[in-house]
Amino acid sequence: MLPDLPPLPALTRAEGELIDRYLEAAVLLGRINPARAGDTYSALRAAQALAATAAALRDALALMHRRGESELHTDTLARALRTLDGVRRSARVGVPPDGT
């Protein structure tokens, strides 16, 4: 049985793309993180994928800008990030505390 998750807030297609690409970039950055990465080959592959993901992230933001979506609705986007497990998916980006 699936856990009860809050519903995903209503997003424009570009906002959905922004959230998806942001989370993808966060996961890739976590794989590259020198304080956490396991081997250079995996980090290299993640870095190569990050270039394409960054371009897709840029394109989502550019589309929003062209459509006149000049403001990021941070409360709504943060709710979407939490709903899509953004806390766990971005956890490996930071530097771990000493002794871990």
Contact 35, 96 (CB under 8 A): yes
DSSP state of 98: T
- The model's pTM is 0.84
Please, what is the Cα angle at 88 between 56 and 31, to 5 degrees?
60
Give me the pLDDT at residue 2, please.
52
Instruction: Report the distance separating Cα 28 and Cα 45, nearest Å.
Output: 9
Distances (CA, A) of 83 to 3, 4, 13, 43, 86: 12, 11, 17, 27, 7
Instruction: Report the distance separating Cα 88 and Cα 6, nearest Å.
Output: 16
Question: In tens digits, what is the pLDDT along the chain, a chain of 100 residues?
Answer: 556 767 888 888 889 999 999 999 999 999 999 988 688 999 999 999 999 999 999 999 999 999 998 899 999 999 999 999 999 999 888 888 886 5
